[in-house]
Amino acid sequence: MNKPFLIAMTLLVALGLGACQDETEQAAKPSAQASQAAPVEVSVAQVSLGTVPLNIVVPGAVVPDEQAQIASRLMGFVHDLHVKEGDYVRKGQVLFTIDPTDVKSQIAQAEAAYRQAKAALADALADYERFKKLYKEESVSKQQFDKVRLQYQVAQQNLAAAKAAFDQARAQMKYARVKAPFDGVVVKKMAANGDLAAPGKPLLVLENLETMSVKTEVASDLYARLRAGDEATMWIEGIDHPVKGEIYTLVSAADPRTRTHTVKITLPKALKNINSGTFARVSFQVGERQTMMIPARAVVVRAGITGVFVVDQDGRVHFRMIRPGKRIGDKVEVLAGLSLGERIVISPNNQLLRNGDAVKVVETVDMDTADSKEGA
């Protein structure tokens, strides 16, 4: 028990705050009325040990599970870019087009080369058939026949290459119409109609806001304690209650700059209207510790001081100031002011009790059921 707490306890007894409106002498000893009044029937619980979770809280942010930077595969001017930030788009919807003039020119050139190669192959085939007949008749030498046969083989290869180039040029036309890869929302727009698009340069950012998670970065010592499937508690900006989720991604490679590991936690699908980038605090439970615990409904506040009514061996109650810690469900941690085994009043309403009142203990409630009975 620390010194400030002892000083506060001394002041409490000296001033008689436990008696609320009683005088100083009434706080120091039972009043005449209290000694003559019939004992108040009370239920009590014993101060006992409980467990408090050890948590580590880290900052995080809401992120989409699906995000795409939409870029063109062609060089050309942007046309028909009518979507704006915040627009919802469907998978396969055309987001914008690229001026196909250059592509059409390439297709025309490739087609001309293909037709030329096709004609050259026809000529080479005719020469080959003619020289093959002459060679059988021994009218031409083997060297002459081999030369014509080689020209025919080269013409075949040239036609195959020309056809591949023609097919590739025609395939480029489909890239002139850029489509959404999934259902989502346009969250960023970096281009306008008339801008020159370059291959690989993002023009839009698309996110699927139906599947979101929370991403955080943790130090190596915390990362070593986490496992996929572990539960985490999150407080998300704009949501007035904690949210539970499970770890589903643990990146073993640490960021070389920050020496932290990426961890992702699921979000309930029932959560709606959460934007990516929203700040979150993530709490991971890494252990437990033992501490004194009492039922939360045993705690009362008198004259601004938090305390409980302790039952002494003579069957009288005395207001005792306590220093509460964490609240865990329907129980409260006690950091100072009580000792293990002491009996404290949990009912009736402690606000009706006065310092020094005589009481009759009619029930000693187990700590595990002390508050569950109240809600039953």
Per-residue pLDDT of the chain (376 residues; tens, 9 = 90+): 455 554 555 444 444 444 444 433 443 344 445 456 688 888 888 888 888 888 899 999 999 989 999 999 888 899 999 999 999 999 999 999 998 888 888 888 988 999 999 999 998 999 888 888 888 888 888 898 889 889 999 999 999 999 998 888 888 888 888 999 999 999 999 999 999 999 989 999 999 888 899 999 999 999 999 999 999 999 999 888 999 999 999 999 999 999 999 999 999 888 877 888 999 999 999 888 889 988 888 888 888 889 889 999 888 989 999 899 888 888 899 999 889 989 988 887 666 788 888 888 888 887 665 554 544 4
Burial of 204 (0-12, 13-18, 19+ CB in 10 A): buried
Residue 233 per-residue DSSP state: E
* pLDDT of the residue at 23: 38
* pLDDT of the residue at 5: 52
* pLDDT of the residue at 34: 47
**CA quadruple 181, 185, 190, 194: dihedral, nearest 10:** 70
* Sign of the C-alpha dihedral computed for residues 347, 352, 356 and 357 taken in this order: negative
Distance (Å) of CA 166 to CA 104, 196, 235: 11, 25, 57
- Gap between the Cα atoms of 77 and 325, Å rounded: 65
Q: What is the pTM of this model?
A: 0.60
The amino acid sitting at 22 is: D
* pLDDT of the residue at 20: 42
Distance (Å) of CA 90 to CA 83, 98, 177, 179, 184: 12, 20, 15, 9, 7
* pLDDT of the residue at 242: 92
At 150, list the tokens: 């080689």
* pLDDT of the residue at 179: 93
* pLDDT of the residue at 233: 94
For each of the domains in the chain, give its residue range(s) and CATH number, in order of start: 3-52+290-375 (2.40.420.20), 56-66+210-288 (2.40.30.170), 73-178 (1.10.287.470)
- Lookup result for tokens 């130090």: 219
List the Cα angle 340/345/347 in 5-degree steps.
Answer: 145
Residues facing residue 212 across a β-bridge: 64
**3-class SS at 100?**
coil
- Gap between the Cα atoms of 346 and 294, Å rounded: 9
Phi, psi of 35 (to 5 degrees): -70, -25
